[in-house]
A and B are shown apart, each in its own frame.
Chain A
């Protein structure tokens, strides 16, 4: 008898499709074009962060400092402009800060060989603390007149499509090209698949690992700017929220295994769509907060259990570096 082999990506897509159909049939106003755009708009920032996390996870790492990279450089831009600096100078400072975060993460992991979980946990705390202690006057950094025009990065629409969705699409294209069309992308997959084999075949593993974390921090910073523009302020204590779990949820649910070397942009899109559909449907249904968490947890459990039933672990997969 031939075994049915369904990947997690397909399972999640099926769950997404089932939810989507149910909502479309039973929920008034769900399937309108307007609502579809809102749905995407609400998860655009999450999706961009998912892309950053995907790059790192494909390279067999994880980046828990991603939310700090989102909050602190973007907060710095708003604070510097508020203090009278020019917007370009502030953006440059934020970019440099993001690169610095990535370089420190990469160096710790690739050269000092600190496990990514601990390295990025520490740098994330450090960067968030640095922001609170030294950079910002208040947790929520307010928009100021010097930022005029910049809000278009997260508000309004281009050709009828809300800008934040456009930004997500741009980020998807850039990451797709980077992962699938460049040599660096191929190296990231190779390192994620088997780091020792990759090193033996002459791939510059360490610099590529550093590159992964720099890219993740830069994309995180970009997501932060889109978020700030979207809500007209930067609530920097978002670092203390559960957003990082949502990002990991998007990546893992989308089918990018934490063992590295698999998946891509499409997986992030699928994971983001599933989360977006659930949140949107539950908001329309006016499901209370506690109920929303219950349902999110339930859907995640169903996806994970189905995956375990259909793809039982064997010796090879069990030895991969799952967290």
Chain B
């Protein structure tokens, strides 16, 4: 009898115990097996950044965005600023190859200068990510704007604005050797081929320089006061183009399409005050996030440098009067740096 009683008591105790213990067991959690190797793959690695120059919205934005995404994982982020000097840039890339960072983020001044160097870097086991302006060599990843699309969409905007008007347009190019300028021009040509009625009265390079862009535009507008549109190749330079249009009293009459990184002061504010009619933004913070994502993937995957090659073209944001006021169209460099 006693043993039966003891058995019953034991069973109740065991039941009670298991009732308490079951939730406790669930609370113990499961070890996610991939995050540790991910952290180990990133910690202590060096990512080197070679822009064409610091101190302007694009390169500062990429820098701030990458830093924010990579440094919390213990990645060492170094910068070599060639300050618009292509030779200094080539030297920086060369010396980096011997320093062997894990990843190099490269902003090419033109399609040729760095091409061989980037190939050498990948042969040495360094992942190379090219940003916005690519070189002739295709590396692990290209993150950036599709310039041909930018040229096409800007020109479509201008052609549409010219309907029923003089059909005379001008093109203000950047620096002729830069990929951004040459590819955008191709996009412009693609659209113009479909619109034989459009006449290009001037197509000149202003070398990314606002003062030069202003001088060219002034002369063109004096010759062609009935001009209906201008395709400009960078908003930083087209401040000058816009100043010339304003000075001629033609704001609103000459449609100015341009492109840029979409920083609030340099893009949305200028669209709002009528300087630009269309600014195709390639959205620098998103580009930075895509680059950071690619870097994390490459480092954690352990693929051999140069064995994978891909592109991530940025989804463009057309900034016009309609959306220039919204929170999402532009970004603030000061916020990104926080």
Tell me if chain B binds chain A. Answer: yes
Residues of chain B with a CB closer than 8 A to A230's CB: 211, 214, 243
Within 8 Å CB of B55, what residues of A?
A: 132, 136-139, 237
Task: Given A136-B55, A138-B57, A283-B219, verify A156-B247 contact (CB < 8 Å).
Answer: yes
Is there contact, CB below 8 Å, between A290 and B219? no
Contact with A along B234-258 (1 / 0, CB 8 A): 0010011011001100000000000
**Which residues of A (268-297) have their CB < 8 Å from a CB of B?**
279-280, 283-284, 286, 288-290
Alpha-carbon gap, A238 to B222, bound state (A):
26
In the assembled complex, A231 has its CB within 8 A of some CB on chain B: yes
**Interface stretch among A33-41, A84-92, A193-201, A309-317?**
A33-41
Q: Taking the nearest CB of chain B, how far is it from the CB of A74, in angstroms?
A: 12
B83 x A240 contact (CB < 8 A): yes
Which of B56, B57, B202, B243 is packed against the most chain A CB atoms within 10 Å? Answer: B243
B193-219: CB near A (< 8 Å → 1, else 0) gives: 000000001111101011100111011
Q: Verify if A247 is at the interface (C-beta below 8 Å from B).
A: no
Q: How large is the interface on B (under 10, 10 to 19, 20 to 34, 35 or more residues)?
A: 35 or more
The answer to whether B219 touches A280 (Cβ under 8 A) is yes
A-chain residues with CB within 8 Å of residue B201 when the two chains form the complex: 286
Whole-angstrom distance from the CB of A123 to the nearest CB of chain B? Answer: 18
Known interface pairs A231-B239, A240-B83, A283-B220; A142-B202 also in contact (CB < 8 Å): no
Indicate if the CB atoms of A235 and B209 lie closer than 8 Å: yes
- Measured between alpha carbons, how far is A240 from B223 in the docked complex, in Å? 31
A39 to B236, CA, bound (A): 24
Task: Verify B205–A241 contact, CB threshold 8 A.
Answer: no
Tell yes or no: A253 within 8 A of B by CB: no
Give the distance to chain A from B222, nearest Cβ to Cβ, in Å. Answer: 5
Question: A233: CB under 8 A from chain B?
Answer: yes
Q: Point out which of B201, B209, B218, B333 has the most chain A C-beta atoms below 10 A from its C-beta.
A: B218
* B58 shortest CB reach to chain A, Å: 10
Instruction: Tell me whether A35 and B204 are in contact (CB under 8 A).
Output: no
Would you call B247 and A233 a contact (CB within 8 A)? no
What is the number of contacts between chain A and chain B, taking CB atoms within 8 Å?
A: 90
With a cutoff of 8 Å between Cβ atoms, the chain B residues found around residue A41 in the complex are: 218
Interchain CB contact (< 8 A) of B85 among A42, A240, A279: A240
Contact A232 B223 (CB under 8 A): no
Interface check B84, CB cutoff 8 A: yes
Contacts of A266 in B (CB 8 A): none
B53 A139 Cβ-Cβ under 8 A? yes
B96 at the interface (CB under 8 A from A): no
A29, A132, A139, A232: the one contacting B243 at CB < 8 Å is: A232
B83 — which chain A residues lie within 8 A by C-beta?
132, 240
Nearest B residue to A242 via CB reads B207
Closest CB of chain B to A156's CB: distance in Å?
Answer: 7
Q: Chain B: which residue is nearest A34 at the CB level?
A: B222
| Cβ-based interface call for B41 (8 A) | no
Given A42-B218, A139-B56, are A288 and B210 also a contact pair (CB < 8 Å)? no
B204 touching A283 by the CB < 8 A rule? yes
Q: How far is the CB of A239 from chain B (nearest CB, A)?
A: 10
Q: Mark A19-57, 1 if CB is under 8 A from B, else 0.
A: 000000000010010110011011001000000000000
**Contact in complex: B210, A235 (CB < 8 Å):** yes
Question: Given that A42-B218, A231-B240, A233-B239 are contacting pairs, would A241 and B56 also be in contact in the complex, using a CB cutoff of 8 Å?
Answer: no
The CA of A136 and the CA of B220, in the complex, are separated in Å by 33
User: Contacts of B214 on A, CB cut-off 8 Å?
Assistant: 230-231
Contact pattern, A 163-190, Cβ under 8 Å of B = 1, otherwise 0? 0000000000000000000000000000
A227 part of interface (Cβ distance < 8 Å): yes
Residues of B within 8 Å of A35, CB to CB, are 219, 222-223
A155 at the interface (CB under 8 A from B): yes
| Contact A231 B210, beta carbon cutoff 8 Å | yes
* Chain B, Cβ-Cβ closest to A281: B219
* Chain B residues with CB below 8 A from A110, complex form: none
Whole-angstrom distance between the alpha carbons of A231 and B216 in the complex? 13
Residues of chain A contacted by B84 (CB below 8 angstroms): 237, 240
Q: Which residues of B contact A121 (CB under 8 A)?
A: none
| Docked CA distance A235–B236 (Å) | 9
A142→B265 CA distance, assembly (Å): 8
Asked if A108 is an interface residue, CB under 8 A from chain B, the answer is no
Determine the chain B residues whose CB is within 8 A of the CB of A93 once the complex forms: none
CA distance A283 to B214 in the complex (A): 12
CA gap between A283 and B205 in the complex, in Å: 10
B222 contact set on A, CB distance < 8 A = 29, 32, 34-35, 38
Extra pairs beyond A29-B223, A138-B333 (6, CB < 8 Å): A35-B223, A42-B218, A231-B211, A231-B239, A237-B84, A286-B203
Show 16 A/B contacts (Cβ-Cβ < 8 Å), sorted by A. A42-B219, A132-B55, A132-B83, A139-B53, A140-B56, A140-B210, A155-B246, A227-B211, A230-B211, A231-B240, A231-B243, A233-B239, A240-B85, A241-B207, A284-B223, A289-B176
Which A residues are closer than 8 A to B by beta carbons? Answer: 29, 32, 34-35, 38-39, 41-42, 45, 132, 136-140, 142, 155-156, 162, 227, 230-233, 235, 237-238, 240-241, 279-280, 283-284, 286, 288-290
The 4 closest A-B CB pairs, nearest first, are A42-B215, A289-B205, A139-B55, A283-B219
Question: Which residues of B approach A to under 8 Å, CB–CB?
Answer: 53, 55-57, 60, 83-85, 176, 201-205, 207, 209-211, 214-216, 218-220, 222-223, 236, 239-240, 242-243, 246-247, 265-266, 333
